[in-house]
Amino acid sequence: MSPRPALDTVVVIGGSVAGLLAAAAVAPHAARVVVLDRDPLPAGPAGRPSTPQARHSHGLLASGRASIERLLPGFTDRVVADGGIGSGDLGRSGRWWIGGGLIVDCDLGVRGLSASRPEFEHVVRELVRDRPTVEISGGTDVLGLRGDAARVTGVHVRGPDGRDRAITADLVVDASGRAGRAARWLPRIGARPPVEDRIAVGVRYATVHVVARTDDLAGRSFLVAAATPAVPRGGVALRQEDGSWTITLFSYLDEPVPVDPDGLEAFARSLVTPDLATLLTGRTLRHPAWAYRFPDCRRRRFPAPPAGYVAIGDAVCSVDPTFGQGMSVAALQAVALRTELDRTGSAAG
């Protein structure tokens, strides 16, 4: 007979990448894991109202892929089976323009994976859903925490039927993202709010999808053109599972990024490489360009978190999106949560 898990119920606030990975991390240590998201959750790879960033390019770093694979074995193969590109060694499968120069092809010893963000989230959600002790509830808004300054004991929620109820938990994982309400929720139970640092970056994005040809970029699966002090603009192109390139152009300090086709191409020509302009020239855009503004990076420190409460993902740290780190940071945090639970048997204390 397997031993009784250390935790009875774990509630995860937020069913996006960080919340789902947190659920995978705690599952071996809990009798029941309840993932709550305010959005109705799609059956397949699709966008959602609360994650508007998901339609822009999302690169998954090698550490993120490896960490997700550790928590959810089979992740890479499932994404590749859906058409994602398991692009081999990251030093050879893409083109890196860093610091104004093209990095020479070389083996880095790390493996990449290219797909859309909705696809990554979909596969993670399906693999987590396969765990018999995990319940994922969409359309469920968390209204606040239960407990006091010493210990969080659960959450108050409004379900899809509009009814309010309480859920008791030994551990509440707050994965409610950058817009998370910990600063309001914690003081309401007498606990100290997080202290927030902000660094203004004024990043602006414009993203389009165009049909990819196999010989584009000599068959590479991605291109990164990083900003430099001399050219504080950049772009990225990633092959997607549906046979398109997602192309994102970005600027800093709120320099406008055009969204009309001619303006996009002209902007792409102003980067450190003409490669992205080449991918746009003569191609039909699959949709009018999508714009996004990311005003600042945020870091929240929790000076005296109550027992039974831990925050993860963008709820703790939301970094400059052009670095493509958010999902990987969330995955590394989820692995750290698993490691802590393995060590102590319970992070709830």
Ligand X SMILES: Cc1cc2nc3c(=O)[nH]c(=O)nc-3n(C[C@H](O)[C@H](O)[C@H](O)COP(=O)(O)OP(=O)(O)OC[C@H]3O[C@@H](n4cnc5c(N)ncnc54)[C@H](O)[C@@H]3O)c2cc1C
Q: Which residues bind ligand X (CB under 6 A)?
A: 13-19, 36-39, 50-51, 53, 56-59, 141-142, 175-178, 180, 205, 292, 294, 313-315, 321, 324-328, 330
Of residues 66, 161, 60, 168, the one with CA closest to residue 116:
60
Query: Is the CB of 154 or the CB of 180 nearer to ligand X?
Result: 180
Q: Which residues pair with 301 in a beta bridge?
A: 195
Query: Is the CB of 59 or the CB of 147 nearer to ligand X?
Result: 59
Of residues 341, 348, 339, the one with CA closest to residue 306:
348
Query: Is the CB of 6 or the CB of 155 nearer to ligand X?
Result: 155
Query: Is the CB of 119 or the CB of 314 nearer to ligand X?
Result: 314
Residue type, 163: R
Taking the alpha carbons at both ends of the chain, their separation in whole angstroms is 26
Query: Is the CB of 160 or the CB of 349 nearer to ligand X?
Result: 160
Query: Is the CB of 11 or the CB of 279 nearer to ligand X?
Result: 11
Residue nearest to ligand X (CB): 326
Query: Is the CB of 57 or the CB of 67 nearer to ligand X?
Result: 57
Closest distance between ligand X and the C-beta of residue 4, in Å? 29
Closest distance between ligand X and the C-beta of residue 56, in Å? 5
Residue 76 burial (C-beta neighbours within 10 Å; 0-12, 13-18, 19+): buried
Closest distance between ligand X and the C-beta of residue 1, in Å? 35
Residue 342 burial (C-beta neighbours within 10 Å; 0-12, 13-18, 19+): exposed
Closest distance between ligand X and the C-beta of residue 2, in Å? 30
Closest distance between ligand X and the C-beta of residue 234, in Å? 12
Closest distance between ligand X and the C-beta of residue 203, in Å? 8
Of residues 77, 146, 149, 150, the one with CA closest to residue 115:
77
Separation CA 18–CA 311 (nearest Å)? 10
Closest distance between ligand X and the C-beta of residue 169, in Å? 14
Closest distance between ligand X and the C-beta of residue 326, in Å? 2
Separation CA 184–CA 189 (nearest Å)? 9
